[in-house]
Amino acid sequence: MQNQIGAPKGFSLTDPRVRAWLFQIITVLAVISLGWFLFDNTQTNLQHRGITSGFGFLQNSAGFGIAQHLIDYKESDSYARVFLIGLLNTLLVTFIGIILATLLGFVLGVARLSKNWMINKLATVYIEIFRNIPPLLQILFWYFAVFLTLPGPRAAHSILGYFFVSSRGLNMPAAIPAEGVWPFVIAVVIAIVAIVVMSKWATKRFEETGVPFHKFWAGLALIVVIPALSMLIFGVPVHWELAQLQGFNFVGGWVMIPELLALTLALTVYTAAFIAEIVRSGIKSVSHGQTEAAHSLGLRNGPTLRKVIIPQAMRVIIPPLTSQYLNLAKNSSLAAGIGYPEMVSLFAGTVLNQTGQAIEVIAITMSVYLAISISISLLMNWYNKRIALIER
């Protein structure tokens, strides 16, 4: 539309450039006036209701208990600390969910491609069932129909004598730091650094001389041997504290509350169905000619998969996988339906009701999710750029 031959000189309403300017000015004015309209209304409404705006309320004492907190919390702590607890709980669910859903999703995606008819159909049925049921319904189902109907702690199902599943959640042994904990952590860090250095050296040597190096086994040896040495010298890093039944409930150990269990389980099961489809289409997008070419070069099945198929499939898989991770992070807010204390139910629910600071609370909540979304997509974009096809 630019640089039209014979466009009228000077000012004319039929000139596309003039029109573009006018249109943009109108848009900006409309947005500004809409913003001003909303702002002005809000100001008047707040005044009439006697609500003072501002973030000062964050310093006030909360005065209510929270079922699960990863950091220390007392009822007299401030709303700011409540916010932090909600944020950590959201991140916890997202983190566990992403790991489990990725594992399950990849297994299902590969199963969906299996030549074995039975496995193939089982995976298909799983995917078609779980991705067509709303996640909130799945969360409610797991919570109300499964976990809350489990027997109480006294009749808990025991798994190997260390884990106990009951209506109070999953009780498991807790790791209590012992004298060897810091040397152990340092040893692990050293091992990881050593693996990175080794891997770089091996890749460089392979590219220069073509001599392969068993990166995987060497890496495994490093990560096992160095921490094991630290344990021998400085003592064990943790003591295990077992959960024990005392009276009507378990004492000691760690507990995953039923809300957390229901939420992670439902989100994992739901998201895994989508990830499986992404994995399947990613692997199928690599043409069969690639496999044949690799075979004709003398590569066996394993190296063909690792060095030819997966690197190409990953390029197709990563972008939609990222958006599934984002969806999982956003879906963790569905915890509001069962009262798991994360961002939305704790902060946008309880804190909002107690303080009445609607605008500030909702703004904080939304910016947290925006921040999570942006950081996951930045991370994945960086990774995507690294593995993207460099075209000639």
Partner 1 sequence: MSTHNFKPDMPPPGKVFGPMAWMRNNLFDGWFNTILTLVAVYLIYLIIPPLLEWAIFKASWVGTTQADCSKEGACWVFIIQRFGQFMYGYYPAEFRWRVDLTVWLAIIGVAPLFIAKVPKKGYYGLGFIILYPIIAYFLLHGGAFGLENVATSQWGGLMLTLVIAVVGIAGALPLGILLALGRRSNMPAVKVVCVTFIEFWRGVPLITVLFMSSVMLPLFLPEGMNFDKLLRALIGVILFQSAYVAEVVRGGMQAIPKGQYEAAAAMALGYWRTMGLVILPQALKMVIPGLVNTLIALFKDTSLVIIIGLFDLLNSVKQASADPKWLGMATEGYVFAALVFWIFCFGMSRYSQYLERKLDTGHKR
Cα 82 from Cα 65, distance rounded (Å): 10
Smallest gap from Cβ 225 to partner 1, in A, equals: 32
CA-to-CA separations, 314 to 46, 101, 142, 278, 310, in angstroms, rounded: 52, 17, 33, 10, 6
Instruction: For partner 1, give the closer residue by CB, 137 or 236.
Output: 137
> Which residue is associated with the tokens 């809350």?
148
Smallest gap from Cβ 143 to partner 1, in A, equals: 9
Instruction: For partner 1, give the closer residue by CB, 199 or 333.
Output: 333
Instruction: For partner 1, give the closer residue by CB, 137 or 233.
Output: 137
Smallest gap from Cβ 175 to partner 1, in A, equals: 33
Can you give the binding site for partner 1, defined by CB under 8 A?
1-2, 20, 23-25, 27-28, 31, 38, 41-42, 44-46, 48, 114-119, 122, 128-129, 132-138, 140-141, 144-145, 149, 330-331, 333-334, 336-337, 344, 348, 352, 358-359, 362, 365-366, 369-370, 373-374
Instruction: For partner 1, give the closer residue by CB, 77 or 277.
Output: 277
Alpha carbon 194 to its chain centroid, in Å, reads 28
Do residues 167 and 147 touch, judged by C-beta distance below 8 A?
Answer: yes
Phi and psi at residue 35, to the nearest 5°? -60, -45
CA-to-CA separations, 293 to 288, 289, 304, in angstroms, rounded: 9, 6, 9
Instruction: For partner 1, give the closer residue by CB, 38 or 103.
Output: 38
Instruction: For partner 1, give the closer residue by CB, 164 or 274.
Output: 274
CA-to-CA separations, 278 to 204, 286, 373, in angstroms, rounded: 33, 13, 20
- Look at residues 335, 345, 285, 338 and name the one whose alpha carbon lies nearest to residue 309: 285
Instruction: For partner 1, give the closer residue by CB, 45 or 287.
Output: 45
- Look at residues 164, 149, 147 and name the one whose alpha carbon lies nearest to residue 255: 164
Instruction: For partner 1, give the closer residue by CB, 297 or 371.
Output: 371
Smallest gap from Cβ 19 to partner 1, in A, equals: 9
Find all residues with CB under 8 Å of 142, minimum gap 6, and list them: 261, 262, 265, 266
Cα first-last separation, the chain: 32
Smallest gap from Cβ 219 to partner 1, in A, equals: 26
Smallest gap from Cβ 99 to partner 1, in A, equals: 20
Half-sphere exposure of 287 (CA within 13 A, CB side): 3
Smallest gap from Cβ 251 to partner 1, in A, equals: 30
Smallest gap from Cβ 387 to partner 1, in A, equals: 22
Cα 265 from Cα 150, distance rounded (Å): 16
